[in-house]
Chain A
């Protein structure tokens, strides 16, 4: 699952040049802003998947 961590880098560094535009507005936001926003949400989701499948987190308890 670790390979998923590459995706935010691709999305933000490689993807942004292709969406470097204001129009069309997505949900009222400029396209480039909406794109970065999408990647923030995806990054969190990707890290959650990595966390849940990482055996390192099963050995320790969770923190309060």
Chain B
């Protein structure tokens, strides 16, 4: 047990040291702290964007979902692919506009395109609301890892507090540069651990991949495909579309694309990132291997599958290495999420109320808000209840509501008006909030509808209502004003 914890603690110290090192010699003004002075080459941008793929979400959530739900987990393989295809055309114009207007956060983009500070505040609020479940799932992962690696000596709650403290300290010292360099360490570690486990466990326990899948299919026929109802093909398609559209709408992902030195970076990444996703395959293999080895985990417990099967298989020092990789997968995205949330609060909400504040003042405020955001996330984490995948899908349902207004703003003559954008986002987010708070699905709201319709991800329903509201209100706006576009036009 001591060995496992010692390895994890050493990893955290190395990560902190890297963060401090990244800071040295750089004057950390607001632009440096948040977008690295827009000087990142292909490799670092790639890591920041790919870091998105390898978070606690995939490490524990992905393997857990493969273990607990089987086939539906495969949606995680599909959505990234489609997001990367779209990124080829979506990201370069966003990057160009952000550079030309010296933007540092996601709401800045909406403020500038729609010429409305109020819209910026709305977008910030949506971003923060979506980031909270995302942060919660990283902390939940940290809790699982530290509690497991201590073999029960440290409680999950204590582990969550320790994890939150480490992430907070990390962000406050290093900013985005620390995240990028630790991302390199993290991706190396996770690659090694996941590929090893994903190959070793199926061969060790079943004698091979084909034998493993045949054994699972015999024990649970059809479990590895999509079920006829519930997480059916309608759920799969709607969830893939929702998450693919939302992929780049996360405030921290949107912010990390500003760090690029030039736009070609994104087009190159669109080729490589799909391949990078293949690591997910091994994550699933771990989850599948656990199905028959550690049966019986239910509800949110499915997130424990990877560690349960590892503990059954390996010595404590190996658990330490796995835990260390796991801690990094929570630390890097966790730090980016915290930073994004704090920057949103300081730059896009606080600043609107205190127009006189200069950049230094905002940067200081952002840094001070980091522990506050961390505390809120800890509070929600300790409430417990949801699986890691369910938490992320909730965040996605919120954040994807920004997509229609963003996409239209890239058009040369944006037909969407300021009020239209406002109405669309409000309607979409209100729908998601209502559905989440009342725990409804289309199946509970409309029990008589056909299964194929009932299984559609509610985030997509909210997105449709969003687009309707956006179109209707923009149309009314145009009719009233008699002009073509009151919204500020893109100067592209």
Residues of A within 8 A of B (CB): 5, 8-9, 12-13, 16-17, 20-23, 25, 27-33, 36-37, 39-41, 43-44, 46-48, 50-51, 54, 56-57, 60-64
Contacts and interface: CB of A to CB of B under 8 A. Distances in A.
B76 to A, nearest CB: 10
A8 B270 contact: no
B281 interface: yes
8 contacts: A5-B85, A20-B225, A22-B221, A22-B223, A28-B208, A37-B77, A41-B275, A47-B85
Contacts of B263: 60
Q: Chain B at the A interface: mostly helix, strand, loop or mixed?
A: helix
Interface stretch (B236-244, B303-311, B327-335): B236-244
Given A28-B208, A47-B270, A51-B271, A22 B240 contact: no
A63 B224 contact: no
Contact of B237 (A16, A28, A29, A47): A16
Contacts of B268: 51, 62-63
Nearest to B81: A43
B217 A23 contact: yes
A33 B226 CA distance: 11
Given A5-B88, A48-B271, A13 B41 contact: no
A39 B74 contact: no
Contacts of A33: 74, 77, 224, 281, 284
A31 B224 CA distance: 9
B392 to A, nearest CB: 19
Given A12-B81, A23-B217, A32-B74, A63 B41 contact: yes
A11 to B, nearest CB: 9
B265 interface: yes
Interface residues of B, number: 47
Contact of B82 (A9, A17, A23): A9
Nearest to A2: B89
A7 to B, nearest CB: 9
A60 B274 contact: no
Interface string B246-277: 00000000000000011111011011101101
A57 B226 contact: no
A44 B272 CA distance: 7
Contact of B225 (A22, A57, A64): A22
Contacts, number: 123
B77 A16 contact: no
A61 B263 CA distance: 11
A25 B77 contact: no
Closest 7 CB pairs of A and B: A28-B210, A28-B209, A63-B42, A44-B274, A30-B224, A47-B271, A43-B274
A40 B275 contact: yes
A35 to B, nearest CB: 9
A23 B218 CA distance: 11
B181 interface: no
Contacts of A29: 209-210, 213
A13 B240 contact: yes
B78 interface: yes
Interface in B7-45: 41-43
A56 B264 CA distance: 9
Contacts of A63: 41-42, 261-262, 264-265, 268
Interface in B45-92: 71, 74, 77-78, 81-82, 84-85, 88, 92
A51 B265 CA distance: 11
A48 B274 CA distance: 11
Contacts of A51: 88, 267-268, 270-271
Nearest to B221: A22
Interface in B277-296: 277-278, 281, 284
Contacts of A60: 262-264
Nearest to B86: A5
Contacts of A56: 92, 267
Nearest to A26: B210
